[in-house]
């Protein structure tokens, strides 16, 4: 496998779970790069192949941008930085025969190839799963597409927003259609892309485990459309068991009350009362113990039936409280609740600092780049976060030299426009 000498940014302090695994990343945008970033965090060496000059499209998906100082690519988007930590960038034009040969050369030295081109695109270059695995039988090759390698939609392109719409996710997200502001709503993050990346990483880990036992490679066919179906979880089962498609329900829980978003004097909280004891504690905090004895509210079934009336009473009571004071009082009484934070408030939570979920990585030419790091914690193989997202082509010479391509050969490839360094 292709292994490089550790440099100043990759000081070895202990083995990570995927140390020794090498991944060739032909992914762009988010789903495939998210998968390979997970693998990089776990210790894999990830070699990201990018187009010369422009690189991954998401490098330009801003603002916001991190501004460089004295480097050729003087700005890189936050979008790119979010999904490409810990990788090495090699700028190769795979539309050229020389570029295709370089990629095959690198793949032969890797354990895993990940790509998310449209079905058939890489076959034109001899870089598809069938061609690569014929030449490298032990290779694990993961293709991420919108609709999979077969079926009536397999040639269609896909984007997270479109799959959220097609996949029913938007039909169960948002306020009820008959209420103000109701109707279909996408999730506020590219949730299908992210979950596709997670499923891809899990599938690759499973294939690596099988390869360790048998030596056999694998072809993984992962579709965003399929992931959308899998993500529906309990909502899918609700439909399959009843034949009735679920619809938007806002934040209100249909079976347990009070569970909803409630306004305080200066912000909103989530109340998640789960049983009659917790409801009694809530009443005690509010100084309305009589509500817990009221036949309209005494049991959960009664509260569900009278939820509109109960919601009105709670909103009236909460209006006198600040959000922080009410959350504190409810937490102390054991009533499940949470503030509805914006992202700044969330990142200001002391638990974020304690868990070290935000790190600052030193990026030459850019200074310190903030990163939200992996949530995975290992007691005996701790993860390290010391390599920021790469500049375009930053590691071309280094990676190709390790593959035996350097000196005049590298200069000629650069002059021919096949690579950039």
The CB-side HSE value for 233 (13 A sphere, CA atoms) comes to 5
How far apart, in whole angstroms, are the C-alpha atoms of residue 421 and residue 50?
Answer: 11
* Gyration radius (Cα) of the chain, Å: 26
Per DSSP, 390 falls in state P
Other Cβ atoms within 10 Å of 102 Cβ, number: 24
**Six-digit token pair at 332?**
């102390």
Helical spans, DSSP H, in 294-341: 300-305, 307-318, 323-333
Question: Quick check: 389 and 60 in contact, CB under 8 A?
Answer: no
SS3 141: strand
How far apart, in whole angstroms, are the C-alpha atoms of residue 401 and residue 131?
Answer: 25
For residue 368, list its beta bridge partners: 362
Residues recognised as catalytic: 193
Reported as type and span, the H/E element at residue 419 is strand 419-420
């Amino acid at each position: 496998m292709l292994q490089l000498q550790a440099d100043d940014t990759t000081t070895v302090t202990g083995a990570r779970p995927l140390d020794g695994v090498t991944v060739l990343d032909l992914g762009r945008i988010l789903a495939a790069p998210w998968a390979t970033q997970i693998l990089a965090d776990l210790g894999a060496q990830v070699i990201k192949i990018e187009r010369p000059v422009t690189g991954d499209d998401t490098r330009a998906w801003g603002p916001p941008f991190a501004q460089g100082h004295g480097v050729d690519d003087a700005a890189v988007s936050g979008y790119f930085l979010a999904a490409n930590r810990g990788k090495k960038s090699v700028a190769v034009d795979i539309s050229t025969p020389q570029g295709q040969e370089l990629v095959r050369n690198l793949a032969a030295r890797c354990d895993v190839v990940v790509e998310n081109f449209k079905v058939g695109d890489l076959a034109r270059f001899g870089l598809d799963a069938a061609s690569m695995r014929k030449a490298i039988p032990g290779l694990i090759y993961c293709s991420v597409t919108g609709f999979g390698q077969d079926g009536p939609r397999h040639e269609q392109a896909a984007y997270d927003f479109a799959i959220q719409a097609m996949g029913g996710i938007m039909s169960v997200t948002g306020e009820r259609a008959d209420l103000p502001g109701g109707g279909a709503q996408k999730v506020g993050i590219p949730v299908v892309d992210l979950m596709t990346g997670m499923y891809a990483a899990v599938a690759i880990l499973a294939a690596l485990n099988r390869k360790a036992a048998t030596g056999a490679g694998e072809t993984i066919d992962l579709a965003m459309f399929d992931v959308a179906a899998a993500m529906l979880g309990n909502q899918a089962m609700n439909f399959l068991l009843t034949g009735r498609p679920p619809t938007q329900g806002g934040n209100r829980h249909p079976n347990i009350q009070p569970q909803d978003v409630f306004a305080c004097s200066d912000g909103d909280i989530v109340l998640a009362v789960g049983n009659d004891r917790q409801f009694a504690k809530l009443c005690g905090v509010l100084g309305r113990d009589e509500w817990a004895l009221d036949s309209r509210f005494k049991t959960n079934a009664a509260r569900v039936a009278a939820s509109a009336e109960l919601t009105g009473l709670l909103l009236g009571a909460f209006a006198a409280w600040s959000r922080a004071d009410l959350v504190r009082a409810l937490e102390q009484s054991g009533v499940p609740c949470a503030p509805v934070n914006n992202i700044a408030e969330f990142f200001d939570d002391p638990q974020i600092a304690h868990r070290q979920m935000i790190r600052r990585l030193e990026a030459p030419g850019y200074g310190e780049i903030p990163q939200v790091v992996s949530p995975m914690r290992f007691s005996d193989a701790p993860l390290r976060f010391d390599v920021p997202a790469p500049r375009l082509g930053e590691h071309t010479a280094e990676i190709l030299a390790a593959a035996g391509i350097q000196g005049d050969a590298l200069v000629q490839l650069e002059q021919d426009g096949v690579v950039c360094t």
